[in-house]
Amino acid sequence: MEQQIFFDALGDPIRRRILALLLDTDERCVCEMHGVLDASQPKVSRHLAVLREAGLVLARRDGVWMHYRIHPDLPAWAYRVLLHMKDGMPPLPTSESQTCAPCTAQ
């Protein structure tokens, strides 16, 4: 992974918050993230596309739902940067009440 691509992907606060959310769980659905981030689903999806193209996250389709997780092959230096970044951020809401009903109904 090129460092320039990695750090460019971290250039937006919403993308940093998405990564912080994903560091806390195995994977999350887009509908869950947009609720927690208080951002529209299309906006969150656009930011996830940037992160996916940069190689920071992987996507998995489950019917109509898209689930994302931190790329398991992320270089160790990049993972450490993400952890340090997350440590410097205010905590994000992660309660079960933020979970998308359609995703959990399956």
Give the span between the Cα atoms of 18 and 38, in whole angstroms.
11
Domains in the chain, ordered, with CATH?
3-91 (1.10.10.10)
Whole-model pTM: value is 0.87
Residue 25 confidence (pLDDT): 87
Please tell me the predicted confidence (pLDDT) of residue 27: 92
pLDDT above 70 for 103:
no
Q: Which residue has the tokens 């997780």?
A: 69
Kindly report, residue by residue over 43-84, the tens digit of the pLDDT.
999 999 999 999 999 999 999 889 999 999 999 999 999 999
Q: Which tens digit of pLDDT belongs to each residue from 34-49? A: 888 889 999 999 999 9
**Which one, of 32, 5, 24, lies nearest residue 70 by Cα?**
24
SS3 state of residue 21: helix
